[in-house]
């Protein structure tokens, strides 16, 4: 079981050695990254099978848990670690002229993301989060245009601001409790953190980590960065990086901050994100910016879903997050050749029917047309929201419905543009690269498979949600008789 | 100075640094000053972290000459601050190199101007202002900048 | 409007933090983990400097993450800045006094840097502090003579191998059936130079890595493309 640390150590090791191997072996080193990611995928699958879904904890360095750092490996952590490697492999920069440094940054990003999924220590999560951030800064700037540098600078400053807020939150928690281990904190939280200090610490950490999760009000970087970064990087940021930030917040919320006030804060910020994101997407005049704002709206929906108390919220949030994790990267890959204003795209769909068909499929799922998976995700959220007594939840349900109307409107408008009769002024767009279209097709197949297997998938996610909400299990796994250390 | 006073001074200093830095980041106009504000805020957060392990009459947690001191400060925040400082150094180096490139690209470090020029660049790349030029007769583009460029476009 | 919101935010932050700090029991840190580490660390790791035990032992993976962040920042800065064209003009070298004192300082700084790194488990200091001094040792001559070109290949070789060394020491324990980054080797006598098992080796890797990383970052900043 200790082997699970390899999924963090191997990408970092490969990234450290990449500049050397690039000099020595030349283009052979291009394959190092995908090979490491494949090894990660195999490793996670075998371990998942071996553990049979039971969570286990690791004491890193062999020091007993509250003193040393521990990793907590349950199904949620394994699921996200697996998705990190798979998505990074799908969105790997395969282009021949890619700067080798970009490969290193991708590997560092996956190592950090895997670490974030597994870690059970507050400060360790912060460190991996910073590693993820810095790697994403490099990737975002990698196109090296003036606009990309400016957008990255603004993104970095907002992130840096968030870092300071999160670190202050960590300091507050440490001052109150004197520990950083999440399981240990979970045992102390009811006495020590169920007060104004705890709530402020949560708000600060939410604000800090929320920068990556495109949380209102620290999401002003989103449209600029996604417009100036390469589409693959945008897809990775919107699909993967944001979800890992959400994962951390969910872990903290379940284990340490289960107060209703914390939930309501998240709900309010999520609702603001949904409103602003979807309305701005409705006003957007080009595809990439439409996708960026829609991503803000969807992430807002994720927060709204996770703020529903109890298991129902975790289930709904997980469904929305996983759905967005599949759909948004696919749409960003389609945008690779569909940049430019909407007016210029008239008739683009007629020239590449496969791409247009895939767009329609993903757009329908994003809106939530039954029987596509997006429908079930939205249904779970709205039912969960209406099941709550507080009026804020009812308001949130209304906002989600209004946002869906806006979503239908702009996606439908874009779809119509794609199939409009060609006009003479329409620009000739290059057809999609085969690798992009192939990747999107695979994602489409996954989406359709999920549609047919929705019942078993739902059961699977229910067990994951059960396990995630089980605080007692987390505490006893980490602090109890140190299981899994062997 | 008595201990409670010292503690108040340290906590107050940490909070002051964080607030000064945060205000500088959100209100700053000049990129380099914003970067400095970021460094100040980081220093505040680090100070807050290290004060968390302070207790009266305690010494550094190092055993010298086989003598174990009676009172030692908490070693964990010290290790965390070491980590946080190094992270801060890396990020500052990166943001400075970005600032160099931004200055070379846009010739200014004023955040408002950078933002306008960046928005214009993004709009131009996306071709959002195309609709304006298409209204003119063929082959004749309006000479003045389209509205979308001067007002910064819808991204504002 | 934006200024008003910012001002309100800053004032609110100050108010909240001060109110919270007022409730703290100042000076009575609840050192749940800290106290336990203070008691167990000397026996468990064999390092006289307990902060070092925490940095490399109890929180070793934090340190791995941290050197990875420094590596990432230097990688990204290199990507952003690009490499100077060889024919680009450079600043003129400084006078003889500065050049000679830079040459004199170089070996001294190297010795001090390595001393601080190798005694990291005994005295205040360690890989980070010593690494910064090593970086300074390489950068002072460069400041005195901006014309000299930087050996980027050597720097990237050192940074890559040192980082890999840190992980490999961790993996060695893993493949012996222990936990990742578990200290190996004999702990020795507390307070001796050769003690604390693999911790000094880890600190040496950290020191070399930090030194190469910072030198690389500075050299990148000094060596960036002159023209856009």
Would you list the DSSP string of C159-219?
A: HHHHHHHHHHHHHHHHHTTS-TT---S---STTSSS-STTHHHHHHHHHHHHHHHHHHHHH
CA distance C29 to C20: 15
CA distance A112 to A129: 7
The interface residues of chain C toward chain B in range 87-146, judged by CB-CB distance below 8 A, are 123-124, 128
CA angle B1, B4, B6 (to 5 degrees): 50
Cβ proximity of C44 and C57 under 8 Å: yes
Which residues in chain B have their CB less than 8 angstroms from residue A175's CB? 48, 52
The pair of three-digit structure tokens given for residue A205, joined into one six-digit string: 């950490």
Least confident of A207-216, B30-39, C64-73, C185-194: C185-194
- The stretch A217-245 carries a mean pLDDT of 89
Least confident of A119-123, A149-153, C62-66, C216-220: C216-220
C193 CB-contact burial (10 Å; exposed 0-12 / middle 13-18 / buried 19+):
exposed
- The stretch A352-377 carries a mean pLDDT of 86
- Residue, of A22 and C166, whose pLDDT is higher: C166
* pLDDT reported for residue B41: 93
Beta carbons of B98 and A178 less than 8 Å apart: no
Which residues in chain A have their CB less than 8 angstroms from residue C16's CB? 200
Q: What is the mean pLDDT of chain A?
A: 86
Beta carbons of A101 and C61 less than 8 Å apart: no
Cβ proximity of A376 and A458 under 8 Å: yes
The pair of three-digit structure tokens given for residue A24, joined into one six-digit string: 């020595």
CA distance B81 to A429: 52
Give yes or no for residue B57 having a pLDDT over 60.
yes
Sequence-distant (6+) residues with CB within 8 A of C33 are A66, A67, A178, A179, A180, A181, A184, B76
Closest partner residue to A341 among B25, B80, B128, by Cβ? B128
* pLDDT reported for residue A269: 92
Which residues in chain C have their CB less than 8 angstroms from residue A99's CB? 79
- The stretch C116-127 carries a mean pLDDT of 84
The pair of three-digit structure tokens given for residue A405, joined into one six-digit string: 């109307």
Min distance A29 CA to chain C CA atoms (Å): 14
Closest Cα to residue C125, out of C194, C202, C203, C208? Answer: C203
Q: What is the DSSP letter of A343?
A: G
* pLDDT reported for residue B149: 40
* pLDDT reported for residue C89: 65
Interface chains of chain B (3 or more CB pairs under 8 Å): A, C
* Phi, psi of A70, rounded to the nearest 5 degrees: -120, 150
Domain range annotation of chain C:
49-84+91-221
CA distance A90 to A34: 9
Q: Tell me the count of A-C CB pairs closer than 8 A.
A: 177
Beta carbons of C32 and A177 less than 8 Å apart: yes
Cβ proximity of A359 and A447 under 8 Å: no
Count CA atoms within 13 Å of residue A34 on its CB side: 10
Count CA atoms within 13 Å of residue A5 on its CB side: 31
Closest partner residue to B76 among C18, C27, C37, by Cβ? C37
CA distance A29 to B69: 52
Closest partner residue to C28 among B27, B55, B79, by Cβ? B55
Count up the domains in chain A and report the number: 1
B126 in reach of chain A (CB within 8 A): yes
- The stretch B52-71 carries a mean pLDDT of 74
- Residue, of C147 and A441, whose pLDDT is higher: A441
Give yes or no for residue A76 having a pLDDT over 70.
yes
Sequence-distant (6+) residues with CB within 8 A of A160 are B25, B38, B42, B91, B95
Give yes or no for residue A406 having a pLDDT over 50.
yes
CA distance A451 to A6: 34
* Phi, psi of A305, rounded to the nearest 5 degrees: -65, -45
The pair of three-digit structure tokens given for residue A307, joined into one six-digit string: 């703020």
* pLDDT reported for residue A49: 86
- In b/e form, how buried is each residue of B43-54, taking b as 16+ CB within 10 angstroms? bbbbbbbbbbbb
Least confident of A85-89, C16-20, C133-137: C16-20
Beta carbons of A164 and B42 less than 8 Å apart: yes
Distance of CA A73 to the CA centre of its chain: 18
- The stretch C15-42 carries a mean pLDDT of 76
* pLDDT reported for residue B39: 93
* pLDDT reported for residue B153: 37
Sequence-distant (6+) residues with CB within 8 A of A143 are A228, A229, A230
Beta carbons of B102 and A134 less than 8 Å apart: no
pLDDT in tens, B92-102: 999 999 998 89
Give yes or no for residue C226 having a pLDDT over 70.
no
Beta carbons of A167 and B128 less than 8 Å apart: no
CA distance A66 to A2: 18
Sequence-distant (6+) residues with CB within 8 A of B25 are A157, A160, A161, B34, B37, B38, B41
Closest partner residue to C51 among B7, B79, B98, by Cβ? B79
CA separation, residue C119 to residues A397, C69, C124, C129, C189 (Å)? 61, 24, 8, 11, 14
Alpha helices in chain B (DSSP H): 3-27, 31-51, 75-106, 111-126, 130-135, 147-150
- Residue, of B65 and A109, whose pLDDT is higher: A109
Q: What is the DSSP letter of A62?
A: G
Count CA atoms within 13 Å of residue C123 on its CB side: 8
* pLDDT reported for residue C79: 87
pLDDT grade for A472, boundaries at 50, 70 and 90: confident
With pLDDT > 70 as the criterion, what percentage of chain C qualifies?
A: 88
Which residues in chain A have their CB less than 8 angstroms from residue B118's CB? 146-147, 150-151, 224, 228
With pLDDT > 70 as the criterion, what percentage of chain A qualifies?
A: 97
Closest partner residue to C80 among A61, A104, A149, by Cβ? A149
* pLDDT reported for residue A152: 92
Count CA atoms within 13 Å of residue B3 on its CB side: 10
The pair of three-digit structure tokens given for residue A14, joined into one six-digit string: 């490969």
Beta carbons of B80 and A123 less than 8 Å apart: yes
Closest partner residue to A62 among C61, C69, C182, by Cβ? C182
pLDDT in tens, A176-214: 888 888 988 888 888 888 888 888 899 999 999 999 988
C8 in reach of chain B (CB within 8 A): no
CA distance A40 to A10: 8
Given the structure tokens 């000459």, which residue do they identify? B65
Min distance B12 CA to chain A CA atoms (Å): 13
Identify the domain containing residue A461 by its residue range.
259-473
* pLDDT reported for residue A422: 64
The interface residues of chain B toward chain C in range 77-96, judged by CB-CB distance below 8 A, are 77-80, 82-83, 86-87, 89-91, 93-94, 96
B75 in reach of chain A (CB within 8 A): no
A418 CB-contact burial (10 Å; exposed 0-12 / middle 13-18 / buried 19+):
buried
Q: What is the mean pLDDT of chain B?
A: 77
* pLDDT reported for residue A429: 65
Domain contains A207: no
CB neighbours (10 Å) of residue C168? 13
- Residue, of A468 and A345, whose pLDDT is higher: A468
Closest partner residue to B75 among C51, C76, C220, by Cβ? C51
Which residues in chain C have their CB less than 8 angstroms from residue B82's CB? 51, 55, 128
Q: What is the DSSP letter of B67?
A: B
Beta carbons of B134 and A286 less than 8 Å apart: no
Cβ proximity of C220 and A138 under 8 Å: no
pLDDT in tens, A290-332: 889 999 999 999 999 999 888 888 999 999 999 999 999 998 8
CA distance A146 to C86: 23
The pair of three-digit structure tokens given for residue A174, joined into one six-digit string: 């440490």
Helix (H, G, I), strand (E, B) or coil at A387: coil
Predicted-complex ipTM score? 0.90
Q: What is the DSSP letter of A71?
A: E
Give yes or no for residue C111 having a pLDDT over 90.
yes
CA separation, residue C193 to residues A137, A309, B69 (Å)? 41, 55, 20
Closest Cα to residue A321, out of A293, A291, A301, A297? Answer: A301
């Amino acid at each position: 079981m200790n082997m699970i640390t390899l999924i963090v150590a191997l990408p970092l090791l490969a990234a450290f050695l990449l500049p050397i191997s690039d000099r020595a072996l030349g283009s052979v080193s291009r394959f190092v990254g995908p090979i490491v990611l494949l090894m990660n995928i195999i490793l996670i699958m075998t371990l998942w099978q071996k553990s049979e879904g039971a969570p286990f904890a690791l004491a890193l360095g062999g020091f007993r848990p509250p003193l040393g750092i521990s990793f907590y490996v349950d199904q949620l952590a394994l699921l996200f670690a697996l998705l990190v490697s798979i998505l990074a492999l799908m969105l790997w920069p395969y282009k021949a002229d890619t700067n080798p440094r970009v490969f290193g940054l991708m590997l560092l990003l996956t190592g950090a993301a895997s670490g974030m999924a597994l870690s059970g220590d507050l400060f360790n999560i912060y460190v991996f989060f910073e590693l993820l951030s810095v790697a994403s800064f490099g990737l975002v700037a990698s196109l090296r245009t003036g606009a990309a540098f400016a957008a990255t600078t603004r993104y970095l400053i907002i992130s840096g601001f968030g870092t300071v807020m999160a670190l202050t939150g960590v300091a507050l928690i440490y001052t109150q409790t004197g520990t950083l281990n999440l399981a240990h904190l979970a045992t102390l939280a009811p006495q020590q953190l169920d007060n104004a200090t705890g709530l402020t610490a949560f708000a600060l950490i939410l604000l800090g980590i929320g920068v990556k999760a495109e949380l209102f009000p620290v999401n002003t970087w989103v449209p600029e960065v996604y417009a100036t970064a390469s589409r693959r990087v945008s897809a990775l940021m919107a699909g993967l990086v944001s979800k890992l930030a959400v994962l951390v917040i969910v872990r903290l919320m379940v284990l340490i901050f289960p107060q209703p006030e914390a939930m309501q804060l998240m709900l309010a910020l999520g609702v603001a994100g949904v409103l602003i994101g979807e309305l701005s997407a409705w006003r957007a005049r080009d595809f990439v910016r439409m996708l960026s704002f829609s991503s803000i709206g969807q992430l807002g929906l994720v927060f709204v879903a996770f703020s529903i108390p109890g298991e129902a919220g975790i289930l709904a949030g997980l469904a929305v997050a996983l759905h967005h994790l599949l759909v948004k990267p696919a749409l960003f890959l389609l945008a690779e050749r569909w940049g430019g204003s909407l007016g210029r795209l008239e008739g683009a769909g007629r020239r590449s029917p496969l791409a247009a068909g895939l767009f329609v499929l993903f757009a329908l799922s994003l809106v939530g047309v039954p029987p596509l998976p997006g429908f079930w995700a939205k249904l779970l959220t709205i039912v969960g929201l209406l099941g709550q007594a507080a009026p804020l939840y009812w308001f949130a349900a209304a906002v989600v419905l209004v946002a869906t109307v806006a979503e239908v409107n702009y996606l439908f408008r874009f779809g119509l543009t794609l199939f409009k009769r060609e006009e003479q002024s329409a620009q000739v767009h290059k057809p999609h690269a085969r690798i992009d279209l192939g990747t999107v097709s695979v994602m489409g197949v996954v989406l359709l498979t999920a549609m047919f297997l929705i019942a078993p998938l739902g059961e699977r996610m229910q067990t994951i949600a059960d396990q995630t909400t089980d605080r007692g299990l987390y505490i006893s796994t980490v602090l109890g008789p140190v299981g899994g250390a062997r | 100075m008595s201990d409670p006073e010292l503690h108040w001074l340290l906590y107050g200093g940490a909070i002051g640094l964080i607030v000064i830095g945060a205000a500088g980041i959100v209100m700053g106009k000049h990129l380099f000053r914003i970067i400095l504000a970021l460094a100040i805020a980081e220093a505040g957060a680090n100070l807050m972290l290290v004060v968390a392990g302070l207790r009266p009459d305690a010494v550094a947690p190092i055993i010298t000459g086989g003598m174990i001191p009676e009172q030692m400060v908490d070693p964990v925040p010290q290790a965390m601050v070491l980590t946080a400082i190094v992270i801060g150094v890396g990020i500052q180096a990166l943001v400075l190199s970005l600032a160099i490139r931004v200055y070379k690209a846009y010739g200014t470090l004023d955040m408002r101007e950078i933002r306008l020029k960046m928005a214009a660049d993004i709009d131009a790349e996306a071709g959002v202002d195309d609709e304006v030029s298409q209204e003119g007769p063929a082959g004749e583009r309006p000479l003045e900048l389209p509205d979308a460029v001067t007002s910064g476009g819808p991204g504002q | 409007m934006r200024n008003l919101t910012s001002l309100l935010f800053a004032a609110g932050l100050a108010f909240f933090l001060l109110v919270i700090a007022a409730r703290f029991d100042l000076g009575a840190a609840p050192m749940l983990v800290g106290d336990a580490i203070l008691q167990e660390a000397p026996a468990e790791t064999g390092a006289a400097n307990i902060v070092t035990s925490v940095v490399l032992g109890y929180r070793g993976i934090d340190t791995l993450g941290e050197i990875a962040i420094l590596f990432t920042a230097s990688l990204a800065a290199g990507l952003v800045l690009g490499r100077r064209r060889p024919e680009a003009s450079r600043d003129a070298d400084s006078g003889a006094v500065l050049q000679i004192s830079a040459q004199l300082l170089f070996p001294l700084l190297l010795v001090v840097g390595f001393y601080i790194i190798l005694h990291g488990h005994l005295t205040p200091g360690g890989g980070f502090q010593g690494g910064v001094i090593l970086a300074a040792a390489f950068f002072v001559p460069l400041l005195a003579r901006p014309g000299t070109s930087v050996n980027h290949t050597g720097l990237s070789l050192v940074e890559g191998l040192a980082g890999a060394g840190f992980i490999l020491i961790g993996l060695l324990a893993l493949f012996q059936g222990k936990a990742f980054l578990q200290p190996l080797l004999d702990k020795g006598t507390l307070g001796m130079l050769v003690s604390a098992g693999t911790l000094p080796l880890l600190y040496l890797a950290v020191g070399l890595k930090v030194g190469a990383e910072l030198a690389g970052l500075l050299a990148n900043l000094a060596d960036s493309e002159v023209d856009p």
